[in-house]
Structure 1
Amino acid sequence: MPDRYSRPVTAGPISTTRPELSRWQTLAPLILAVSATLRVASTMGYYLVKGDAFFDLRVYVLGGATVGHPDGLYDFFYVDPTKGEHLPFTYPPFAAIVFAPLHFAPFWLVALAWQVALIAALYGTVRLSQKFIGGGSQRAAMLWTAGALWMEAPSSSIQSGQIGIFLMLAVLYAAYDSRWWLSGLLIGVGAGIKLTPAITGFYFVGIRRWAAALFAAVVFFGTVGLSYLFLPDETRRYFPHQMAEAGKSLPVGSSWNQSWQGGLSRIAGHDVGMSPAVIGAIVATAVLAVLAFRALGGEHDRLGSLLVVQLFGLLAEPVSWTHHWVWVLPLMIWLLYGPWHDKPGARFLGWGWVALMVLSVPSLLSFAQPNIWQVSRPWYLAWAELVYIFAALATMIWMVRTGRRA
């Protein structure tokens, strides 16, 4: 019997038969190979010459190295050799257990393998996005992947050695697959490594996948129990104290932080924390997200509905770095090829997100901040640095208006 969660939504094809694009698709494997090689070579070269790369991966490796040693997991800092920044381990203790094997291999080999795996996960993300909306060729996915490697969110994720692309792929597969236990397992383990995938629980509840939502919570608490078994002191320290304090040790006011707390802090000129203004903005965004979710019909457009939940999570987090915004890649595909691709405004938003990611707007604006810790800046820069926030709100407002017209 066909499963209601595995049926693709009928939509326009993600590929096209126009002759000029057909020629590009013929060369797609070569284009992806060249793009991936240049991406890996440039990042490795930058790391060898400047040393300012893979800093998040360094934190993972060092965090994993503390397992079984008396050094405190939440006491050490990785010091960036070029900028002198102190980067702490801000993840749950279960993440350190997962990362523990990484420190047994030479770091350059870990960094190289990590990059290759991230590129493969990026391709998997595009392919899954295609399947959600009713199909698309592998060669079209190759072209999207080749281009995405040079967009701000995926590019910065690869350069820093972040885990976000892996988690995005896991969340997408959890939403695509119909097996409650596998979907719950992926989200629970993902949240155990980094808390952000937990927001997907709202998606499961919204489409009434109760078993998946419940099992995800069970698996997450299982990771906490496993952490307590191997790292009791660190687990007691993280839950709830270190978890609540994690964002406070980070440069919230940086232009790379595209969350409500970051944006409003830059406007105010100081870290506003979880002030009434931030809480009000999050509540208003939650209302907008619920309206957008309902406009999309929940399970009737599963990719679009999932993306609404992820956009809300990005805006609500205390710190939402630009590399967290890798979710814009499936969003662009949904806007340009999904079930609403022929609606007025869909192409404008889709290509608008492409332009923002290619131009790396927050990174360009970061040149106006003397250092990453600076919060205050001129009003015109403070408002301009809300660019991803405004774009996300505009996208959800468009979803609500288009849904009502439909």
Structure 2
Amino acid sequence: MLWQHSLVDLKVYRLGGRTLLDDASTLYDARLAGLPFTYPPFAAVVMVPFALLPWPFAVALWTVGTVVSLVFVWRLSLGRGIPSALLLAVVAGSLLLEPVRETLGFGQVNLMLCALILYDVLELKHSRRGIWIGLAAGVKLTPLVFLGLLVFTRQWKALLYAGGSFAATVLVGFLVSPHSATEYWTSLVSDTTRIGGLAFSSNQSWNAFLIRLTGDLDGGGLVWLALVGLTVLGGLWFSRLLWLRGDRLASVSICALVGLLCSPVSWSHHWVWALPLGVSLIRVVQGRRRLVVGTLWCGLFAVAPIWWPPNHDNRELTWAFGDQLLGNAYLIGALAAVVLLAVADRRETGSDAVRDTPGRKLPAA
């Protein structure tokens, strides 16, 4: 199951790196079995070493890097105090989760970016926090949502580093290939037709939900824009509340969820953020409910009901009500997670209001 996609995305990454070496001006014209390179020019620069390696070595190095990133994601989510044996058991078990399986099968970069961002946000002691967020956004634009978290939590120094490092990645792209960089930032950056079928069940975003619900392949239109606006403002404000209460893992997980929901395309392998979000959910419930919540959350991403209804070739446009429930299961699970965290936060806030003095200050960012 892990290798059913033959690491096709890693092949596309290598295509970008190789094209940059051969003729950088044709970066966005190159195709691999019809698949184009869809990332910023800086991503192609990062992929040059993998393009130079023989395929077996590139596969081995990339897969090891992905698994190591998975270990770091769990370590950062569960804390440094977790015993090594338990950590390895959790990592092994998480290989059964569909977003992780898909990331490994496609040879995707998601877990690496997730680990970098979690480190950058959660490790408050390192002096240049934000740099890794900017570099991650230079490889794949979706991490830009974490700049919103830095704004809402008033982490100005980290925001400066994040914005500066991202700007540096854009500059590198223009230095390496002015033509390709201009083409990407002036037209291709908003062209979702190069990414794949938006109605496809693997796309678990608001846009895809509205497309499947209405049958309109042009997207959600004004309804989608309004939903995106509400999700961004509400989600980042909730992230701020969680951050100020000291639940930084939940804060960054909700911010990631904002990006997943609001991006026009959020393939199921982008949902590796379900790992830290799941840890956040388990932490806010007590007793036997922890086992129930953990089982339901892991079960959702292990059995992946999004693949049960008819899919491919826009068959998603004919889904019945039951198909919609199954085929949008990640979105529904995400909304349930937000409700659970919100209820827990409200209960915690009410408890503090009874215990604390009026002058008590919240933790600083």
Paired residues of 2:152 and 2:237 also in contact (CA < 8 A): no
Aligned match of 2:271: 325
After superposition, the Cα gap between the structure-2 partners of 1:168 and 1:152, relative to the gap in structure 1 and judged at 3 Å, is same
Structure 2 equivalent of residue 307 of structure 1: 253
Q: Once the 2 structures are TM-superposed, how far is the Cα of residue 147 of structure 1 from its aligned partner?
A: 0.6
CA distance in structure 2 between the aligned counterparts of 1:291 and 1:68, rounded to whole angstroms: 44
Query: Which residue pairs with 2:177 in the alignment?
Result: 231
Q: Is the 8 A contact 2:203 2:265 kept in 1?
A: yes
Q: Distance in 2 between matches of 1:178 and 1:405?
A: 27
Q: Which amino acid aligns with 1:212?
A: A
Corresponding residue for residue 25 of structure 1: none
Measured against aligned partners, the alpha-carbon deviations of 1:207-248 in whole angstroms (never above 9, x if no partner) come to 321111111111111111111111110000111311111455
Contact 2:204 2:331 in 1 (8 A): yes
Q: Return the alpha-carbon distance in structure 2 between the equivalents of residues 192 and 315 of structure 1.
A: 20
User: Is the Cα–Cα contact under 8 Å of residues 289 and 309 in structure 1 kept in the other structure?
Assistant: yes
Q: Secondary structure at the match of 2:191?
A: helix
> Shift of residue 401 of structure 1?
2.1
**Is 1:355 matched up with 2:299?**
yes
Match of 1:16 in 2: none
Identity %: 30
Q: Name the SS for the 2:35 alignment partner.
A: strand
C-alpha distance after superposition, 1:324-362 (max 9, x if no partner): 0001111222222x3x23289655443222011110222
Out of 115, 118, 122, which is 2:70 matched to? 122
Does the 8 Å CA contact 2:153/2:240 hold for their aligned counterparts?
no
Match of 1:90 in 2: 38
CA distance in 1, matches of 2:297, 2:29: 39
- 1:76 alignment partner in structure 2: 30
Sort the Cα spacing of 1:88 and 1:296 in 2 relative to 1 into closer, same or farther, 3 A.
same
Could you say what secondary structure the match of 1:68 adopts?
Answer: helix
Give 2:111's aligned residue: 165
Equivalent of residue 95 in structure 2, options 146, 149, 170: 149
Q: Is contact 2:211–2:220 with CA below 8 Å preserved after alignment?
A: no
Tell me, in whole angstroms, the C-alpha distance in 2 between the residues paired with 1:359 and 1:228.
43
Cα distance per residue 1:112-133 (max 9 Å; x no partner): 22112211110111111122xx
Q: Quote the offset at 1:78 in angstroms.
A: 1.6
The match for 1:278 among 192, 202, 224 is 224
Do the aligned partners of 1:148 and 1:154 also contact (CA within 8 Å) in 2?
Answer: yes
Which shifted more, 149-158 or 65-74?
A: 65-74
Q: Which amino acid aligns with 2:176?
A: F
- 1:349 and 1:152 mapped to 2: Cα distance? 18
Question: Once structures 1 and 2 are overlaid, which stretch shifts more, 175-184 or 257-266?
Answer: 175-184
Calculate the TM-score normalised by the size of structure 1.
Answer: 0.80
Distance change (3 Å), C-alpha of 1:304 and 1:343: farther
Residue type at the aligned position of 1:73: L
Query: Is 1:137 matched up with 2:90?
Result: no
Q: Which sections of structure 2, spanning at least 5 residues, go unmatched? A: 349-365
Distance 1:195 1:326 in 2: 16
Distance 2:197 2:315 in 1: 8
Q: Residue 405 of structure 1 aligns with which residue?
A: 347
The alpha carbon displacement at 1:159 in A equals 0.5
The answer to whether the 8 Å contact 1:150/1:358 transfers is yes
Give, as a single letter, the amino acid of the residue that structure 1 aligns with 2:336.
Answer: A
Query: Among 359, 379, 404, which residue is 2:320 paired with?
Result: 379
Which secondary structure state, in structure 2, belongs to the residue aligned with residue 182 of structure 1?
coil
Map of 1:12 onto structure 2: none
After TM superposition, the structure 1 = structure 2 runs for residues 4-403 of structure 1, keeping only pairs within 5 Å, are 43=3, 52-70=5-23, 72-79=26-33, 86-131=34-79, 135-178=81-124, 182-246=128-192, 249-273=195-219, 275-290=221-236, 292-298=238-244, 300-336=246-282, 338=283, 340-342=284-286, 347-365=291-309, 368-369=310-311, 371-380=312-321, 381-403=323-345
1:402 alignment partner AA = A
Aligned mates of 1:221, 1:295 — CA distance in 2 = 29
Alpha-carbon separation, structure 1, partners of 2:56 and 2:71: 23
Q: Please give the root-mean-square deviation of Cα atoms over the aligned residues, in Å.
A: 2.2
Residue 361 of structure 2 is matched in structure 1 by none
Contact map agreement 2:136 2:143 (CA 8 A) in 1: yes
